[in-house]
Structure 1
Amino acid sequence: MAVINTTSDLLKALRENPEWKDAVRAEILGERLQTLPELVSENTRQIASIGDKLDRTSNLLAALTERLDRVDAQIAALTERLDRVDAQIAALTERLDRVDAQIAALTERLDRVENRLERVENRLERVENRLERVENRLERVENRLGKMDGRHLESDILANPRSYIRRKDLSAVRSLSYDERYELSSQLEENEEEELDLLDAILEGETPTGEHLYIAVEASVTIEVHDLERAKRRAYFLAKATNTPVLPLVVADEPPSQRRIEEAMSQQVAIARKQRGIVVNAPFIR
Structure 2
Amino acid sequence: MDRIETFQDLLDILDAKPEWAQALRQRLLTPELLALPEKFAAFADMVEKRFQALETDMTQVKADVAELKTDMTQVKADVAELKTDMTQVKADVAELKTDMTQVKADVAELKGHAVPVAAHRMTGVIAQAANVRRSRWLDSTQIVDIADDAEDEGRADIPANEMQSFKAIDLAMTAIDKTSGEPCYVVIECSYTLTQDDVARVKRNAAHMARFTGTPAKAVAAGNSIPEAVSIFAEDQDVACVTITSKASSPR
**TM-score when scaled to structure 2?**
0.52
- Counterparts in 2 of 1:138 and 1:257: CA distance versus 1, 3 Å: same
Q: Whole-Å Cα distance in 1 between the matches of residues 108 and 227 of structure 2?
A: 21
User: Map of 1:72-151 to 2, 5 A cutoff?
Assistant: 122=87, 124-151=89-116
Which residue of 1 is the match for residue 169 of structure 2? 199
- Counterparts in 2 of 1:117 and 1:235: CA distance versus 1, 3 Å: same
SS in 2 for 1:210: coil
Which residue of 2 is the match for residue 166 of structure 1? 128
Which residue of 2 is the match for residue 187 of structure 1? 150
User: Conserved in 2, the CA contact under 8 Å of 1:171 and 1:208?
Assistant: no
User: Map of 1:32-51 to 2, 5 A cutoff?
Assistant: none
Return the match for 1:208 from 179, 183, 205.
179
Shift of 1:128: 2.6
Map Cα deviations across residues 18-60 of structure 1 (whole Å, 9 max, x no partner). Answer: xxxxxxxxxxxxxxxxxxxxxxxxxxxxxxxxxxxxxxxxxxx
Return the match for 2:240 from 239, 251, 270.
270
Shift of 1:223: 1.0
Shift of 1:210: 1.1
Residue identity over aligned pairs, in percent, reads: 16
Q: Whole-Å Cα distance in 1 between the matches of residues 214 and 199 of structure 2?
A: 22
Map Cα deviations across residues 184-211 of structure 1 (whole Å, 9 max, x no partner). Answer: 3211437354332111122222223413
Return the match for 2:209 from 218, 221, 238.
238
Which residue of 1 is the match for residue 228 of structure 2? 258
SS in 1 for 2:131: coil
Name the amino acid aligned to 1:216.
Answer: V
User: Conserved in 2, the CA contact under 8 Å of 1:202 and 1:215?
Assistant: yes
Q: Whole-Å Cα distance in 2 between the matches of residues 251 and 235 of structure 1?
A: 14
Question: Unaligned 5+ residue runs, structure 1?
Answer: 1-107, 276-286
Q: Whole-Å Cα distance in 2 between the matches of residues 215 and 168 of structure 1?
A: 7
Name the amino acid aligned to 1:273.
Answer: T
C-alpha RMSD of matched pairs (Å): 3.4
- Counterparts in 2 of 1:127 and 1:194: CA distance versus 1, 3 Å: closer
- Counterparts in 2 of 1:168 and 1:197: CA distance versus 1, 3 Å: closer
User: Conserved in 2, the CA contact under 8 Å of 1:163 and 1:274?
Assistant: no
Which residue of 1 is the match for residue 219 of structure 2? 248
Shift of 1:250: 0.9
Name the amino acid aligned to 1:187.
Answer: A
Q: Which has the larger radius of gyration?
A: 1
- Counterparts in 2 of 1:123 and 1:263: CA distance versus 1, 3 Å: farther
User: Conserved in 2, the CA contact under 8 Å of 1:216 and 1:247?
Assistant: yes
User: Conserved in 1, the CA contact under 8 Å of 2:192 and 2:225?
Assistant: no
Shift of 1:256: 0.8
Q: Whole-Å Cα distance in 1 between the matches of residues 225 and 109 of structure 2?
A: 21
Q: Whole-Å Cα distance in 2 between the matches of residues 247 and 256 of structure 1?
A: 19
Question: Unaligned 5+ residue runs, structure 2?
Answer: 1-71, 246-252
Q: Whole-Å Cα distance in 1 between the matches of residues 191 and 170 of structure 2?
A: 9
Structure of greater relative contact order (alpha carbons < 8 Å, 6+ residues apart): 2
Aligned length: 162
Q: Whole-Å Cα distance in 2 between the matches of residues 129 and 231 of structure 1?
A: 39
Name the amino acid aligned to 2:115.
Answer: G
